[in-house]
Amino acid sequence: MQSKILVLADMEGCAGITDMKQYDVCRARMTEEVERVIQAIENYEKADIAVADCHNDGKNIVPFFSEKGYVCYEHIWSIKDIAQYDCAMLIGFHPKKGEAGFYPHTIRPDVDELYLGEKSIGEVALLINWLASHDVPVIFVSGDDAVKKELTGYGGEFYVSNAVGAELLDEKVLSEQMTPHIKKALDSKNKIVPHYDDHEIRLRLIGENYDKFVPHELFSVKDGLVVFADTESFVLSLRSLCEFLNIAEQYQGLRTRHLIKRIRETEFCVEKDVKGKELMNQKDWRALSDRDIDYLYGLLETGKNEK
């Protein structure tokens, strides 16, 4: 009987990606790496392969692989009957926020930290644990070289597809280097036993202006953290949570743009003030609190009165 293999793909950890602003290039690299993985699988054994696009809205590579006849999912919340898959592969993943490597973040830029129980984790560990809850082992991971240290105790194969300073590999070389790891992973797929950690998931957001957009009637909030009973509960709620965080980001971005506009209009040098300089230069705009924004507007009033 043919194996059923689920391929989950992100973008930042794919080979040759160095600038996320070049979207068309990044999408092409992501497509290319997933295609190389699928080719390696199909050259080695017969398998039913499904592709889940895990980057942003999940629409980056779905059109390409749908046209080729593969079952495709737009992000993890769309995956149907996960337990049907014999194993999974994670392609093109990045380090968690605060780590070295290319474009480290955890789920979204407005997420400061993600905890499984007391352990801080990134997206790779989250997905491995979520798949384990459905008894699906992850047999292969590719991504940024900094991801590997997040996978302490992981028993599958890892291939460094993207590393800071690494040269861009052409399709042939990428296939040649990656294929032995995929073959080894396929040979060991019945040996990897998934272990599900059922501790609660806790999420720390970047600032108070994000916290207030998380409705307490839908999400449990304790001590400034959004809390979920376990990994499965978190994944089931993730799409809804992201919808509210998108609103928070738009709100915070709009407030910040108006603030910057006012600063330019008044021509007052906010950075003459020690705290003003710190707020303007050292903090992510997403993290600015109401108090921070009020403080900066207060400086503008002071500057106006001094004229």
Asked if residue 133 has pLDDT above 90, the reply is yes
| pLDDT at site 52 | 97
| pLDDT at site 130 | 97
Asked if residue 200 has pLDDT above 80, the reply is yes
Say what the pTM is. Answer: 0.91
d(CA 303, CA 294): 14
Task: Please list, in sequence order, all residues whose beta carbon lies within 8 angstroms of the beta carbon of residue 187, skipping any fewer than 6 positions away.
Answer: none
Q: Which two tokens stand for residue 168?
A: 């861009």
Strands 87-93 and 111-116, sheet pairing: unpaired
Write the single-letter amino acid at 8.
L
Q: Which two tokens stand for residue 272?
A: 């003459």
Asked if residue 16 has pLDDT above 90, the reply is no
Q: SS3 helix, strand, coil % of the chain, rounded to 5?
A: 45, 20, 35
Average pLDDT over residues 272-293: 87
Question: 230 pLDDT band (50/70/90 cuts)?
Answer: very high
Question: 7 pLDDT band (50/70/90 cuts)?
Answer: very high
Asked if residue 169 has pLDDT above 60, the reply is no
Run of H or E including 128? helix 123-132
The mean predicted confidence, pLDDT, of the chain is 90
Asked if residue 165 has pLDDT above 50, the reply is no
